[in-house]
Amino acid sequence: MKKSLPFRVLPAYLVPLFLTVTVMAATVAETTQATRPPARPELRVGLKYVPTDAEEVLEERGVMAIAGPPFEILAVVDDRPESRELIGQSIDRKKVPIPVRAKQPVAPWLHQVLESSFAEWGTAGKPGADLLLEPVVIKFFVFEENSYKAEVTMKFLLKRRGGTELWAGVVGGTASRFGRWLNESNYQEVISDAVLACYSKLWADPGFREAWAGKSASPDVSAARTAARPAATETLEPETAMKKLLDLKAAGFGDDSLVAWVRKIAFTRPLTADDMITWKSAGVPEAAIRVAIESE
């Protein structure tokens, strides 16, 4: 008995048509695969606070556990111009930029680290307190090429619950380290070091601490400061003063000379927090910014 075939045999006249259709389908598949853009690589980093040199940084800045009046730490506001989840960029050997993104929101993580750090240093945040600390992050970024370089810049406002501003300032922290390429742990470490540098600068800042403690200059001290300040030689708007400072810096004058020049300037209006950010971003030394604020 003759066995039947497990499949139907195409008639001879259909074989050329079948082969043509098969070749065309394969060609379309190859073309689609070739024109499809390759997936863009990226690294996603989980934010984790693991500073590598905490003791050295705290000792260098004179950070010590000191209790002060309680204050409530408000939620960190994310005011970065870039995408909220973008926290870095890696450059590979072909000079191709690779985005680095956070696995979780940056602002709540910064708030958590700020509260835990201040609690460890002697003053925990207290909801409902009369003093309010308002933090805003304006830069949070890591650049990786030959090494990891992180920068965290924030502005802080200390005020009373009624709205009276006591102190405002821009504080920045930087860190750098070597590590393996596109390594999540290395990103976590360099970010943590930059955040620690930023927060420890705020904690140790004399102006912040005086405002926090409720200290104001006595009449004698205020008079001494006024007497020690040189008479103003010209009155300038903050924008004009910044441009002149940058011109002096470009001409080769050092920070001390810039500070001395600022001491002789009368400003048409007090510097705002936005002015401070603009000055710092433009390259004006922090010492000159501080003198400009104190001269108001």
- Give per-residue pLDDT as tens, 147-163: 999 999 999 999 999 98
Name the residue with higher pLDDT: 172 or 67: 172
Show the DSSP H helices in the chain as ranges: 15-35, 54-61, 106-120, 184-204, 206-213, 219-228, 238-250, 255-263, 273-282, 286-294
Q: Which domains does the chain have, with CATH numbers?
A: 43-213 (3.40.50.10610), 219-294 (no CATH)
Name the residue with higher pLDDT: 137 or 8: 137
Task: Please tell me the predicted confidence (pLDDT) of residue 277.
Answer: 86
Measured between alpha carbons, how far is 177 from 156 in angstroms, rounded to an integer?
27
User: What proportion of the chain, given as a percentage, has pLDDT over 90?
Assistant: 40
Name the residue with higher pLDDT: 54 or 203: 203
- The confidence band for 22, taking pLDDT boundaries of 50, 70 and 90, is low
Looking at the predicted structure, is the pLDDT value of residue 10 above 70? no
Which amino acid is located at 32 in the chain?
Answer: T
Task: Please tell me the predicted confidence (pLDDT) of residue 286.
Answer: 84
Residue with tokens 């805003």: 136
- The confidence band for 29, taking pLDDT boundaries of 50, 70 and 90, is low
- The confidence band for 80, taking pLDDT boundaries of 50, 70 and 90, is very high
Identify whether the C-beta of residue 98 lies closer than 8 Å to the C-beta of residue 67. no
Measured between alpha carbons, how far is 141 from 90 in angstroms, rounded to an integer?
11
Measured between alpha carbons, how far is 45 from 88 in angstroms, rounded to an integer?
10
Looking at the predicted structure, is the pLDDT value of residue 237 above 90? no
Looking at the predicted structure, is the pLDDT value of residue 19 above 70? no
Looking at the predicted structure, is the pLDDT value of residue 249 above 70? yes
Name the residue with higher pLDDT: 218 or 182: 182
Measured between alpha carbons, how far is 245 from 268 in angstroms, rounded to an integer?
16
pTM greater than 0.95 (yes/no): no
Ranking 13-27, 88-102, 277-291 by mean pLDDT, the lowest is: 13-27
Task: Please tell me the predicted confidence (pLDDT) of residue 215.
Answer: 65
Task: Give me the mean pLDDT over the 227-236 stretch.
Answer: 63
- How does the average pLDDT of the chain come out, rounded? 81
Task: Please tell me the predicted confidence (pLDDT) of residue 280.
Answer: 87
Ranking 25-39, 95-109, 128-142 by mean pLDDT, the lowest is: 25-39
Burial 278-294 (b: 16+ CB within 10 A, else e): bbbeeebbbebbbbbbe
